[in-house]
Amino acid sequence: MARLEDQQVEELHDQLLRWGIAYDPLRDDLLDHLCCMVEYEMNQGQTFSEAVQEALVKFDIYQIQETQEITLHLLTQKQRIMKKVAAITGIIASALAIGGVLFKMMHWPGAEVMLVLGVSLLSVVVLPLMGLIEFKQSNVLRSQYTALIGYISGATLFLGTLFRIMHWPGSSVLIVSGFVVLTFIFIPLYTVKSYQNTDNKMLAIARSAIIISAIAILWGLFP
Amino acid sequence: MYICLMYSKEIVKGTLKPIVLKLLKEHGRMYGYEITQNVKALTEGKIQITEGALYPLLHKLQAEGVLQTESEKMGKRVRKYYKLSQSGEAVADDLISEMLDFMQTLKSVLNPDYGQA
């Protein structure tokens, strides 16, 4: 049984890269598949380069690229739907919330219904969904949790503000817990992340400082 | 998608999933090339699955939780074995029996003795 040398495997790997197979899990599969095909031909008595020629005839580039497209399309289908739902609901909910505030200021009827609907949609559907999308998009565990915590504490603050406007009980608990999570968990995680990922360290620190000052000002508003 | 030496595309379409699930049910775990070779041998070359049809399906089934993978390093390459997950067993059973039932139904329609399965 022929078994390809490491260097020959690398040659085939480079070929797949040249063809634009960038999605790692698929490239692993295709590389092993291609190696098996070449080894099969070599077992029939061909040299490595003859075997590669033979295998590549059966393994044509268009089909491979199509394979990657189909695979990625199938895998991201759910995410695309999630993004669409988040975007559409986000726009509708924001419009309702902004409309609600405007109606309330003008003492027009229907303000409260719009506010409750808009802000509940934002905090219960849109923000958690956006957090989930970012969670799935990242491969790094810490940025996954940073995104999720950020969106969820944001959603809690939204909900708390709604409760405060509607004079419902429990608004202080929601607002304080949202602020605490945002200040003591999200901000440190976010600061470390942006500090590590940016070239301009000063800017990263300044950005976090501005967010902290904004939170401090808001904190002052909601005793 | 398929390279079919015997059957037209329209007929074979939709049979890949039950074929792959049945193979994995019988063999436990298999890698992609092994699956294509097995199908070729079992069907005496009448059905040949191409990588263009197989890998998108395997990755989709993995994303759905029907399949799990085990990777083994072989020098510079990684061999990925696919196997049914616990919930995948039920999916495989359902689909295989659905397909068998469908074939029976089809037989009763297409049989020369029309109407008698």
Cβ–Cβ of B56/A70 closer than 8 Å? yes
Instruction: Assign A64 a pLDDT band (cuts: 50, 70, 90).
Output: confident
Mutant choice from B77, B78, B82 vs A, greatest count of A C-beta within 10 A: B77
Angle at A17 between CA A16 and CA A23, to 5 degrees: 95
Cβ–Cβ of B80/A29 closer than 8 Å? yes
C-alpha to C-alpha distance for B25 and B61, rounded to whole angstroms = 14
C-alpha to C-alpha distance for B96 and B90, rounded to whole angstroms = 10
Q: For residue B39, what is the domain's CATH number?
A: 1.10.10.10
Instruction: Assign B1 a pLDDT band (cuts: 50, 70, 90).
Output: very low
Instruction: Assign A79 a pLDDT band (cuts: 50, 70, 90).
Output: confident
Angle at B22 between CA B21 and CA B24, to 5 degrees: 65
Cβ–Cβ of A29/B55 closer than 8 Å? yes
Q: Is residue B100 part of a domain?
A: yes
DSSP label at residue B76: T
**Lowest mean pLDDT, pick from A5-9, A133-137, B107-111:** A133-137
Q: Is residue B76 part of a domain?
A: yes
Measured between CA atoms, the residue of chain B closest to residue A23 is B59
Measured between CA atoms, the residue of chain A closest to residue B77 is A32
DSSP label at residue B85: -
Measured between CA atoms, the residue of chain B closest to residue A60 is B52
Q: Measuring CA to CA, which residue among A59, A41, A43 is closest to residue A51?
A: A41
C-alpha to C-alpha distance for A176 and A184, rounded to whole angstroms = 12
C-alpha to C-alpha distance for A129 and A79, rounded to whole angstroms = 10
Q: What pLDDT was estimated at residue B2? A: 47
Q: What pLDDT was estimated at residue B93? A: 96
Alpha helices in chain A (DSSP H): 6-18, 24-43, 48-58, 61-105, 111-120, 127-137, 141-165, 171-181, 187-197, 201-221
Please name the member of A30, A32, A75 whose beta carbon is closest to the beta carbon of B60: A75
Q: Is residue B63 part of a domain?
A: yes
C-alpha to C-alpha distance for A59 and A68, rounded to whole angstroms = 13
Tell me the chain B residues in contact with residue A31 when contact means C-beta distances shorter than 8 Å.
77-78
C-alpha to C-alpha distance for A216 and A85, rounded to whole angstroms = 33
The separation between the first and the last C-alpha atoms of chain B, rounded to the nearest angstrom, is: 31
The first and second tokens of residue B70, run together, are 């085990």
Angle at B31 between CA A63 and CA A15, to 5 degrees: 40
Question: What is the ipTM score, two decimals?
Answer: 0.86
Q: Measuring CA to CA, which residue among B7, B23, B94, B96 is closest to residue B58?
A: B23
Q: What pLDDT was estimated at residue B13? A: 75
Size of interface A-B (CB pairs under 8 A): 67
| Pairing between β-strand B47-48 and β-strand B3-4 as defined by DSSP bridges | antiparallel
Q: How many domains does chain B have?
A: 1
Cβ–Cβ of B31/A32 closer than 8 Å? yes
Q: What pLDDT was estimated at residue A173? A: 93
Query: For chain B, what is the largest distance between any 2 Cα atoms, rounded to a whole number of angstroms?
Result: 58
Tens of pLDDT, residue by residue over B12-71, are 778 999 999 999 999 999 999 999 999 999 999 888 888 888 888 898 899 889 999 999
Instruction: State the CB neighbour count (10 A cutoff) for residue B108.
Output: 12
How far A33 CA lies from chain B's nearest CA (Å)?
Answer: 5
Alpha helices in A59-126 (DSSP H): 61-105, 111-120
Query: If DSSP states are collapsed to H, E and C, what string results for B11-58?
Result: HHCCCHHHHHHHHHHHHCEEEHHHHHHHHHHHCCCCEECCHHHHHHHH
Q: Measuring CA to CA, which residue among B66, B58, B82, B30 is closest to residue A74?
A: B58
Q: What is the mean pLDDT of residues B85-113?
A: 92
Cβ–Cβ of A31/B79 closer than 8 Å? no
Q: Is residue B114 part of a domain?
A: no
Please name the member of B33, B55, B75 whose beta carbon is closest to the beta carbon of A36: B33
Q: Measuring CA to CA, which residue among A8, A153, A39, A120 is closest to residue B76?
A: A8
The first and second tokens of residue A74, run together, are 């199938």
Instruction: State the CB neighbour count (10 A cutoff) for residue B23.
Output: 17
Parent domain of B18: 3-109
The first and second tokens of residue A48, run together, are 């490595």
Q: What percent of chain A has pLDDT over 90?
A: 43
Contact of A160 with A179, CB cutoff 8 Å: no
